[in-house]
Amino acid sequence: MVFETLEWVGGVGGYLEMIDQRLLPGEFLKIRCTDVESLYDAIKTLAVRGAPAIGVAAGYGVCIAVQGLRGGDLSAALLGIEKAVEYLGCSRPTAVNLFWALDRMKAAAGRFAAENPGADLPALKEALLAEAHSICRQDKEMCKAIGRHGERFIKEGAGVLTHCNAGALATAGQGTALSPMYEAHGMGRRFCVYVDETRPLLQGARLTAWELGQAGIDATLICDNMAGVLMKQGKVGAVITGADRIAANGDTANKIGTFSLSILAKEYNIPFCIAAPSSTFDLSTASGDEIPIEERGADEVTSFGMRPTAPDGMKVYNPAFDVTDAANITAIITEKGVIEKPNADKIALHLKDVNHGQDARATSD
């Protein structure tokens, strides 16, 4: 990729630098997060978004939180870390990678304190930064592996439909849903990507279209309500989207509008694939009925670019995500391989060896 969505700059006293995705495609600007409040705001207001990227950012957020701690009492430091974890965890409720990364950082701190009772605070800070770097590195590796496993769903000369943004802008690496496209493109395969605009915040139009253009991949932007006619016309050979949380049975939460695409794809017998790292599975959630769905402000629907698009006082329903039933999903593509026709047993078997430094709960826009 020609850009880094987020990166840590410096050592334990460093900061997190991220592309401000609220400004794309009109302006390319990076912001610095030097305290947990600015990171919370960046996550909440979608300056950084995408489940994997949020998780990586949260990992570094714990490192930022400990920078202000003083003294040599590790027990006091652990309390400070727990407070920061709780605070950052309130920023977005649906993307499970956020909680997975925060839990992992908290566990790393507790493990370090237990194994090194005589250690000082600077040593803990070094250990936490190493753990955050590990989360970031693993995300990059998982993205690449997802691409290798998923490129077979992109056929020569075919059209591929994607929704929202699950590319490099949503991860630390080359993305999840877009990763198979990058791999197929790198192999010289010719195909067209149809990019849903993704109302109401236009992540497809603003982010995915921009990102694919940077990579030189043939892309066509469509309004969300045009996907059905494209499928009817035979122009779509596969649908590939990302995920913000996958339940134990394979039900998947993703950007609002994904569920509708799954129904259309099923009607026209088009493969519908979810691409996500194993960190996006939440095995403590039995089905999609239990996934918390974030609802966002009415202004996202009633205005755009500071201009009203609806009458004053209009009632608004604005869920940020919906849940696609596992029965509508052809395959889930992870860094470990492909789960065909996913269900609880297949997912449990697929993930049985996964352990990214955390329990089986969730090896997690």
Q: What is the number of alpha carbons within 13 Å of residue 2 lying toward its C-beta? A: 8
Q: Cα 307 to the chain's mean position, in Å?
A: 29
Between 361 and 136, name the one with better pLDDT.
136
Please give the Cα distance from 132 to 135 (Å, whole number): 5
**How confident is the model at residue 355, as a pLDDT?**
54
Torsion of CA 207, 213, 215, 219, to 10 degrees: 100
Could you read off the pLDDT of 145-158 as tens digits, one per residue?
999 999 999 999 99
Q: What is the pLDDT of residues 157-170, one digit of tens each?
A: 999 999 999 999 99
Class of residue 276 by CB neighbours under 10 A (exposed 0-12, middle 13-18, buried 19+): buried
**3-state DSSP call for residue 68?**
coil
- Region 338-348 average pLDDT: 98
- If you average pLDDT over residues 247-275, what whole number do you get? 98
Share of the chain above pLDDT 90, in %: 89
Q: pLDDT-based confidence at 364, cuts 50/70/90?
A: very low
Q: Which of 244, 251, 322, 365 is catalytic?
A: 244
Cis peptide before 25 (omega within 30 of 0): yes
> Coil, strand or helix: which one is 348?
helix
Question: With left for phi above 0 and alpha for psi between -120 and 50, is residue 89 left, alpha or beta?
Answer: alpha
Q: Is 312 a catalytic residue?
A: no
Residue owning tokens 């999903």: 329
Q: Work out the average pLDDT over 218-244.
A: 98
The model's pTM is: 0.91
On average, the pLDDT of the chain sits at 94
Is residue 110 scored above 60 in pLDDT? yes
**Residue 356: pLDDT band with limits 50, 70, 90:** very low
Q: What residue ranges define each of the domains in the chain, with the CATH number in brackets?
A: 6-145 (1.20.120.420), 149-351 (3.40.50.10470)
Q: Sorting pLDDT into bands at 50, 70 and 90, what band is 353?
A: confident
How do residues 193-205 score in pLDDT, each as one tens digit? 999 999 999 999 9
pLDDT, tens digit, for every residue of 51-83? 999 999 999 999 999 998 877 778 889 999 999
pLDDT, residue 358, reads 40
Residue 217, pLDDT > 50, answer yes
Q: What is the mean pLDDT of residues 331-347?
A: 98
pLDDT tens digits, 3-38: 899 999 999 999 999 999 999 999 999 999 999 999
User: pLDDT band at residue 192, thresholds of 50, 70 and 90?
Assistant: very high
